[in-house]
Structure 1
Amino acid sequence: MLKTVPQVVMQAQKSLNCITADEALTLCKKMNGIIIDVRESIEYAHKSASNTMNIPRGILEMKMLELYPNSEKAIFIHCASGVRAILSTEQLKRFGYKNVWSITCTLEDICQVL
């Protein structure tokens, strides 16, 4: 049986670290982590939070292995609504990253905090 995107996201959330933008900022500073916006480059150019870097979801795995080969690196993922962040966080965990969090609030909330 096929699943809808909301069903897949809801199922994935159960096994992931999901946090707010406020929590992510505090933890990222404490752990010397990185905050990655997984939206497309054109979306990022239009509006983005400061102190973030853009690695679109479509190339995330290849870029992460190249830029951050340390599986212990603290990584905080966000997008505009949380869906791509959840899917990206799940994928990075599959690749072996141990400290990955999904920021599950809206882009507006993220831009106000970061």
Structure 2
Amino acid sequence: MILSVPELVEQAKKLVNCVSAAEAFKSKSATFIDVREPEECTASPVENSITIPRGVLEMNIAKHCTDAEMEIYVHCASGGRAALAAEQLQRIGYKNVKAISSPHDDVRQAQKNQ
């Protein structure tokens, strides 16, 4: 059976820790990874987030996150890519990864409120 993207996202959300944007931005020592495409990030940036598009995450994450135990929050436009990215980071070996399930506007607002 071939799974649809929404089905893949639902599976990923069951395997990763999903949190709200408000909860994520309570952390003062975490690394935030924005897995949206560069054009999306340029049009609506989230300050202090590292942009690593979902399509190249596995190739570029180690440049920014060298410790498997570091606290990482992944976000995107709606939470779907974030869940898929968090699942993949767990497969790679990162132990403290969370997907922000909030929409992008909530992520930006939570970041401003920190």
Task: Tell me which amino acid in the other structure corresponds to 1:71.
Answer: A
Of the candidates 99, 102, 114, which is equivalent to residue 99 of structure 2? 102
TM-superposed CA distance for 1:51, in Å, is 2.3
The list of structure 1 runs, each at least 4 consecutive aligned residues, that deviate by more than 3 angstroms after superposition, is none
2:65 to 46, 65, 68: 68
| Residue 15 of structure 1: how far off its partner (Å) | 1.5
Deviation at 1:8, TM superposition (A): 1.1
1:85 aligns with 2:79: no
Q: 1:46 pairs with 30, 43, 47, which one?
A: 43
TM-score where L is the length of structure 2: 0.92
- Superposed CA offset, 1:75-114 (max 9, x none): 0000001111011000000000000000001001111111
* Counterpart position of 2:53: 56
CA distance in 2, matches of 1:20, 1:67: 23
Deviations along 1:22-69, whole A, 9 cap, x unmatched? 10011x31xx11111100111100002222121111111121122222
Q: How many residues align?
A: 111
1:101 counterpart letter in structure 2: K
The one-letter code matched in structure 1 to 2:25 is: L
5+ residue gaps, structure 2, are none
CA RMSD, Structure 1 to Structure 2 (Å): 1.0
Q: Distance in 1 between matches of 2:109 and 2:64?
A: 27
CA distances 1:10-29 after superposition (whole Å, capped 9, x unpaired)? 11111110000010011x31
Where does the alignment leave 5 or more consecutive residues of structure 1 unmatched?
none
Using the size of structure 1 for normalisation, the TM-score is 0.92
Q: Which amino acid aligns with 1:85?
A: A
- Counterpart CA distance in 2 for 1:18 and 1:9 is 12
